[in-house]
Amino acid sequence: MNLNSGGGIIAAVVNPTAEGRLEYFDRAYLLWDGNGVITYFQSEPPPLEQMAHHEILLRENRVVLPGLIDLHTHLPQYEFAGIGTDELLPWLERYTYPQEARFCDDKLAEKASAAFFQSCLKNGTTTVVAYLAPFLPAAHTAFAAAEKANLRAYLGLTLMDRNVPATLVTSVAQAERNLVELLQHYHGKGKLQLVVTPRFAMSCSPDLLSLCGEFSRAHNLFLQTHISENPTEIAETLRLFPNCKSYAAVYDSHGCLHERTLLGHGIHLSEEEIALIRERAAVIVHCPLSNTFLGSGIMPYQRYRAQGLRLGLGSDVAAGYALSMLFEARQMVEVSKLLSRFSGKDERANMEQAIFQATLGNALALERPDLGSFALGKRADLIVIDDSLCDPLLGMARNAYHTLPERLSRIFYRGHPDMVREALVDGKVVFAAGS
């Protein structure tokens, strides 16, 4: 394709709206310019002259969605996704820390990083926010692999200086040097962004948390960490920070709670903590697959939403055992039904909300209103799904359930990553199944 020419696609399209609903187009025409900016999106065809110099992809039996956005995951853990059944703290000791330690091997880090970003795209994720291993060379390798994969990557070297094996410790002074180096090398370069990443309060000294708070504010960076995932973790955090009234107050008192803070989990927060997080406009990232896998609990998504909290959705690999944000969205709906049953209150989320959250909702949490849905001026990040692969033996041709909402529902509940046939970022194909 000529670099200056635009592109386009003709397909069935599902488009999230700012109100949190989905619009369904049985056949839509989506065009973008040579920079990947959307110039036309309608169910009616554009004038022929507008299509000139555009390479148009005809995908009439496919369903197109905006590229999925994963707001919380861990690159070095992908290799052991689906393994282990402990609760959080023993699971970290037994699986996570030894696995992350393996990333001091440059060859392993290189291979695993390339595989991780390819897997993101294969699962339909075109924007990913990920924790990296706690070694500077492995972080360089990961940024390089993300750049090569051509997806949007918000990445952070995981910082820890206590309560973890000695090989994983980074001193406060070294952490600052590492952050400066990564900021200069990668932040804002192409589709790469640096995220300040203290793992969680338990593994960070007060000085390390203060550095993270200050550095993220000084450079206007996102900060990602975990909060209130497991009762034992909460008790241990409060023991380590005796002057803080709550887990949220630990982060707040070290400058780590702001509008670019992404807090994984937030399952067991008190009303006081909810008020504090809302006031700071930080985002709580729901990770329902992980929360069921480690038996951590169920985050009350609908209640938090009604309370005005900013929310996100993430795979949290490897405690989340799948990299697919469609799986994650489905789990968000399923656990909300269980929560409703047990709480006696209506806390159910539905498919439309969950798909909105995995696309436009996560884009807004990431301050990227140009992503997550299709409209003039937005980026052409999209995935192409072949829903006939839900059940190849049954086939779609003889199936009576073929309206677009029915097809989407089948993708949502019976989908698997192999159904994602293509992923485009900025209008360029960055993943094509079988190629």
| Residues in touch with Zn ion (CB under 5 A) | 264, 316
The span from the first CA to the last CA of the chain, in angstroms, equals 17
For Zn ion, the closer CB: 124 or 264: 264
For Zn ion, the closer CB: 123 or 224: 224
CA 153 to chain CA centroid, Å, is: 10
Measured at the CA of 333, the angle between CA 328 and CA 339, to 5 degrees, comes to 120
- How does DSSP assign 109-176, residue by residue? HHHHHHHHHHHHHHTTEEEEEEEE-S-HHHHHHHHHHHHHHTSEEEEEEEE--SSS-GGG---HHHHH
Closest CA to 61 of 336, 349, 369, 421: 421
Work out how close the CB of 316 gets to Zn ion at its nearest, in angstroms, rounded to a whole number: 4
For Zn ion, the closer CB: 161 or 316: 316
For Zn ion, the closer CB: 264 or 312: 264
Tokens 């779609």, residue located: 396
- What gap in Å lies between CA 213 and CA 215, rounded to an integer? 6
Work out how close the CB of 74 gets to Zn ion at its nearest, in angstroms, rounded to a whole number: 6
For Zn ion, the closer CB: 45 or 82: 82
Work out how close the CB of 229 gets to Zn ion at its nearest, in angstroms, rounded to a whole number: 8
- How does DSSP assign 323-379, residue by residue? --HHHHHHHHHHHHHHHHHHHSS-----HHHHHHIIIIIHHHHTT-TTSSS--TTSB
Work out how close the CB of 225 gets to Zn ion at its nearest, in angstroms, rounded to a whole number: 9
Work out how close the CB of 294 gets to Zn ion at its nearest, in angstroms, rounded to a whole number: 10
Work out how close the CB of 372 gets to Zn ion at its nearest, in angstroms, rounded to a whole number: 22
For Zn ion, the closer CB: 30 or 132: 132
For Zn ion, the closer CB: 273 or 316: 316
For Zn ion, the closer CB: 127 or 291: 291
Closest CA to 127 of 378, 411, 301: 378
For Zn ion, the closer CB: 299 or 408: 299
Q: How many CB atoms lie within 10 A of CB 135?
A: 23
- For Zn ion, the nearest residue by Cβ is 316
- What gap in Å lies between CA 242 and CA 186, rounded to an integer? 37
Give me the half-sphere count of Cα atoms (radius 13 Å) on the Cβ side of residue 369.
4
Please give the backbone phi and psi of residue 322, each rounded to the nearest 5 degrees, phi first.
Answer: -135, 145
Work out how close the CB of 213 gets to Zn ion at its nearest, in angstroms, rounded to a whole number: 19
For Zn ion, the closer CB: 325 or 425: 325
- Cβ atoms 10, 29 nearer than 8 A: yes
Work out how close the CB of 373 gets to Zn ion at its nearest, in angstroms, rounded to a whole number: 26
- Cα-Cα-Cα-Cα torsion 311, 317, 319, 322, nearest 10 degrees, comes to 100
Work out how close the CB of 72 gets to Zn ion at its nearest, in angstroms, rounded to a whole number: 6
For Zn ion, the closer CB: 316 or 347: 316
Work out how close the CB of 81 gets to Zn ion at its nearest, in angstroms, rounded to a whole number: 12
Q: What is the β-pairing status of strands 382-385 and 38-42?
A: unpaired
- Long-range pairs of 301-307 with CB within 8 A, sequence gap ≥ 24: 301/332, 301/336, 301/347, 301/349, 302/336, 302/346, 302/347, 302/348, 302/349, 303/345, 303/347, 304/266, 304/274, 307/274, 307/278
Work out how close the CB of 284 gets to Zn ion at its nearest, in angstroms, rounded to a whole number: 13
